[in-house]
């Protein structure tokens, strides 16, 4: 999540959130928080529309991972921040559950697809054999038994 979105949720100014983070840099390693690259930030700024003086940040925002948001609860200790952090953590848990469910469904779909591919191959072999049987000329059956003069004339 981006720093200014979190600041809105926590009910504080973005600069206050950044100040707290900068004072506690050791609590936020790169897998907890990172700053957007200039290209990413410029792309994000293009999506804001027209810039109003002072309405948009000059510097790339911080982006927090799930662990970084959990760490923010120890840095910003207001009642609202605690409540919001709990809600965000529950949202992350729900997202993981949904992703796990989709992953399981994708794996089952892949299994079914592989089974059908194997069956398609088997069905193709069966049709090839049937086509060969149809294409072969029918040979007249030889008569079995004793030959008589009448049989020889035919």
Is 134 part of a structural domain of the chain?
A: no
> What's the total number of domains in the chain?
1
User: Quick one: pLDDT at residue 42?
Assistant: 74
In this predicted structure, the answer to whether residue 20 has a pLDDT above a threshold of 70 is: yes
Look over the chain and give the mean of its residue pLDDT values, rounded to a whole number.
Answer: 79
52: CB partners within 8 A, 6+ apart: none
User: Quick one: pLDDT at residue 129?
Assistant: 81
User: Quick one: pLDDT at residue 47?
Assistant: 60
The tens digit of pLDDT for each residue in 50-99 reads 545 445 667 788 999 888 888 888 888 788 888 888 888 888 888 888 88
User: In which domain, by residue range, is 15 found?
Assistant: 3-99
The tens digit of pLDDT for each residue in 24-51 reads 999 899 889 998 888 887 777 666 555 4
Is 120 part of a structural domain of the chain?
A: no
Is 92 part of a structural domain of the chain?
A: yes
Is 95 part of a structural domain of the chain?
A: yes
């Amino acid at each position: 999540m981006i720093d200014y979105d979190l600041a809105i949720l926590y009910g504080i100014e973005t600069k206050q959130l950044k100040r707290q983070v900068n004072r506690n840099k050791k609590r936020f390693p790169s897998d907890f928080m990172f700053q957007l690259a200039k290209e990413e930030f410029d792309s994000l700024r293009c999506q804001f529309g027209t810039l109003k003086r002072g309405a948009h940040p000059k510097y790339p925002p911080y982006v927090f991972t799930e662990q970084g948001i959990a760490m923010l609860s120890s840095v910003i200790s207001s009642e609202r921040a605690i409540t919001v952090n709990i809600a965000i953590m529950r949202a992350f848990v729900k997202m993981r559950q949904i992703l796990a469910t989709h992953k399981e469904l994708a794996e089952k779909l892949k299994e079914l697809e592989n089974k059908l591919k194997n069956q398609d191959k088997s069905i193709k072999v069966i049709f090839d054999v049937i086509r060969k049987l149809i294409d072969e000329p029918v040979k007249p059956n030889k008569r079995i038994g004793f030959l008589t003069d009448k049989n020889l004339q035919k």
